[in-house]
Amino acid sequence: MSITIITPVWNNVATVGHCLRSLAEQSVPCQHILVDGVSTDGTLEVIRQHQAPETVVISEPDKGLYDAINKGLKQATGDIVGVLNADDYYPTNDVLQCVKDAFDDPGIDVTYGDLLYVDRGDTDKVIRTWKSGAFQRDKFYAGWMPPHPTFFIRRELYEQHGRYRLDLGSAADYELMLRMLLKHKANAAYIPRVLVHMRNEGMSNASLKNRIKANRFDRQAWRVNEIKPRPWTLVAKPLGKLGQWFTGS
C-alpha cells in the first residue's frame, strides 16, 4: 500500500526544510509532491537542497492553497493521500507507519489523528492541543471536524467524489470532509496520537473578519452538499476550539 504526501508551498523559506526533513525521516517511503506557487524568497533553493531524487516539484502560478493541493492530486499515484503544509512537520518518524497500519483494514477509507499548534519560533512550546476523538458521523452536527493536516484518505475517493472546491475559500477542507464523511458516508478511523505539529493558526483563525467570512463559507459547505445543519452547528464549530487553548503546555 503506497502513500502520497502533497505539500503546497509559497514563500516558506524558513520552514520548508524542516517539513522536508520530517518526511525524509519517515520509516515508510512515500511519493512526495511539492506544489510551489512561484516563491520569491529562496524556498525553491531550500527544496532543491533537501528533496529526494523521486520528489515531484511543480512551480507555477496557482489560485491558492487548495488549487495547489488539487494540482498535486492530479499527479498522485499513492493508494493513500495526505497533505503536509510547508509550515508543518511530522513529530516522529513512525507517523506514516501508523497511518499505513490503520489502512490495512480494507473497510477504512479515511484516517485522522491529533494535532499540536506550536510556537513559530520555539517548536517545543505548545500553544494549543487539538484532540480529535473517536469518529462518530453525527458529531459533525455538533460542530466537530478532524484537523485537516492529519487527514489521510484513499485516493479513489477523490476520483469518485471530486477534489477541493475553490469557491469555498478557507472552508474547502471542511466541505471536503462533509462531502466524504457525512454525505457519502466514508468510513473513518481515529489514530489516538499526535500526527502533526503545526506552526500557524490557519487562514480562518487569523482575524475576526476572517472568522466571520469563514462562517459564511462553512454554511455554504453544508448547502452545496444538500445537508441541513442543526441550528447550533455553525456556532458550535468555532466555539468547540476554545478548549484547545487550555490543554497546551
What band does 248 get if pLDDT is binned at 50, 70 and 90?
very low
Residue that has been written with the C-alpha cell 453544508 in this structure: 222
Which set of grid coordinates corresponds to residue 58? 511543480
* pLDDT per position as a tens digit, 113-165: 999 999 998 999 999 999 999 999 999 999 999 999 999 999 999 999 999 99
3-class DSSP assignment, residue 206: coil
Query: Which class does domain 3-246 fall in?
Result: alpha beta
* pLDDT per position as a tens digit, 153-199: 999 999 999 999 999 999 999 999 999 999 999 999 999 999 999 99
**Amino acid type, 61:** P
Name the region of 85 (left: φ>0; alpha: ψ -120 to 50; beta: rest).
beta
Question: Where are the domains positioned within the chain?
Answer: 3-246
Instruction: Give the pLDDT score at 245.
Output: 57
Full-model pTM: 0.93
Return d(Cα 61, Cα 37) in angstroms, integer: 5
Query: What is the distance in angstroms between the CA of the first residue and the CA of the last residue of the chain?
Result: 36
CB 204 within 8 A of CB 159: no
